[in-house]
């Protein structure tokens, strides 16, 4: 009889050790995904089961945020926002993306030395850290300059051109020309020409083309552009 009571008492003690409150205290103490998963395995419908699941999601978001910060690029932050839109880190991820895009836009504006592009930068980012420098640069560019006669570049020989992009609207083609001019010097491919639909009979397409080149020149220029992550296509002139 004593042995039977001892077994019952031991069973009660073990059951008490595995109570929901005790299990929750252990899970909170460890505060790991494994601890909360173990708690849910024992008490899937318990009073604190929802809190355990919420904490599991929090921990997943924290780990994902650490990975995004380690990579620190726009795609990583965008993936984080898509997976954890309600996370406390989502707003920070969005801000990081905006800063990255702003810095790219500034570099394009700075390289272009184009009044329109710099003015657009100031309009979009009036409170940017680069705003003061942009304003000074714009003012300098807007100072009256003596009119200069620009001689057209000499026609180069060759049966090939580089094609950079194709657009349905001429305004889009003009914007892309300004972007390319800000990123690459003319030594890559010479002044860019917008080929109108009438010039090639290409429907309503506006093509961005380089000056004529030899085959070797076109291949060399295209290889250099691709190294800088700019697509190009070699076509017959």
43 in a structural domain: no
Q: Using DSSP, state whether 182 is helix, strand or coil.
A: helix
Higher pLDDT pick, 86 / 20: 86
* Residue 160 contacts residue 214 (beta carbons within 8 Å): yes
Averaged pLDDT for residues 171-195: 74
Q: Are residues 165 and 203 in the same domain?
A: yes
* 220: CATH: 3.30.70.1070
pLDDT of 147 over the 60 cut: no
Give yes or no for a contact between 181 and 112, defined as CB atoms under 8 angstroms apart.
yes
Question: Is 232 exposed, middle or buried (CB count within 10 Å of its CB: 0-12, 13-18, 19+)?
Answer: buried
Residue-level pLDDT at 5: 44
pLDDT at 81: 93
Average pLDDT over residues 44-66: 83
The pLDDT value recorded for residue 179 is 80
Give the pLDDT band of residue 12 (cuts 50, 70, 90): very low
Task: Tell me what pLDDT residue 188 has.
Answer: 62
pLDDT band at 13 (very low <50, low <70, confident <90, very high): very low
Considering the domain boundaries, does residue 128 fall inside one? yes
| Average of per-residue pLDDT values in the chain | 79
Higher pLDDT, 34 or 104: 104
Judged by average pLDDT, the poorest of 15-29, 148-162, 200-214 is 148-162
In contact, 72 and 59? CB cutoff 8 Å: no
Q: Is residue 17 situated within a structural domain?
A: no
- 94 with 130, same domain: the answer is yes
- Is residue 150 over pLDDT 90? no
Q: Are 77 and 93 in contact (CB under 8 A)?
A: yes
Q: Is residue 29 part of a domain?
A: no
Mean pLDDT of 122-130: 91
Each residue's pLDDT tens digit, 29-54: 867 868 778 877 788 787 777 887 88
Same domain (yes/no): 138, 172: no
**Interval 223-231 mean pLDDT:** 84
230 lies in the same domain as 173: yes
Classify residue 68: in a domain, yes or no. no
pLDDT of 67 = 93
What's the whole-number mean pLDDT along residues 183-192? 69
Q: Which helix (H) or strand (E) holds 13?
A: helix 2-17
Is 136 inside a domain boundary? Answer: yes
Residue 124 within a domain: yes
Structural domain of residue 128, as residue ranges?
A: 90-142
In this prediction, residues 100-126 reach a mean pLDDT of 89
How deeply is 125 buried, as exposed, middle or buried, from its count of CB atoms within 10 A (0-12, 13-18, 19+)? Answer: buried
Query: Of 77, 107, 142, which residue sits at a domain end?
Result: 142
Judge whether 41 lies within some domain.
no
Answer yes or no: pTM beyond 0.75. Answer: no
DSSP structure string for 54-100: HHHHHHHHHHHHHHHHHH-SHHHHHHHHHH-TTSTTHHHHHHHHHHH
209: phi then psi, degrees, rounded to nearest 5: -125, 150
- How many independent structural domains does the chain possess? 2
Q: Are residues 164 and 138 in the same domain?
A: no
């Amino acid at each position: 009889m004593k042995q039977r009571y001892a077994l019952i008492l031991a069973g009660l003690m073990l059951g008490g050790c595995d109570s929901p409150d005790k299990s929750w205290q252990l899970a909170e103490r460890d505060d790991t995904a494994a601890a909360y998963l173990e708690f849910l395995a024992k008490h899937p419908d318990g009073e604190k089961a929802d809190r355990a699941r919420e904490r599991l999601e929090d921990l997943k978001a924290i780990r994902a945020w650490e990975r995004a910060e380690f990579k620190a690029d726009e795609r990583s932050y965008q993936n984080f926002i898509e997976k954890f839109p309600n996370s406390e880190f989502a707003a920070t991820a969005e801000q990081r993306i905006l800063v990255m895009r702003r810095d790219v836009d500034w570099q394009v504006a700075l390289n272009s030395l184009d009044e329109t592009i710099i003015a657009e930068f100031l309009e979009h980012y009036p409170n940017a850290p680069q705003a003061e420098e942009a304003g000074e640069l714009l003012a300098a560019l807007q100072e009256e300059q003596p009119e200069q006669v620009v001689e057209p570049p000499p026609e180069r020989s060759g049966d090939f051109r580089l094609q950079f992009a194709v657009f349905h609207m001429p305004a889009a083609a003009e914007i892309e020309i300004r972007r390319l001019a800000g990123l690459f010097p003319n030594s890559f491919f010479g002044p860019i020409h917008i080929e109108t639909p009438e010039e090639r009979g290409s429907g309503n397409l506006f093509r961005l083309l380089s000056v004529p080149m030899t085959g070797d020149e076109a291949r060399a220029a295209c290889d250099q552009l691709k190294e800088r992550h700019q697509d190009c296509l070699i076509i017959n002139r």
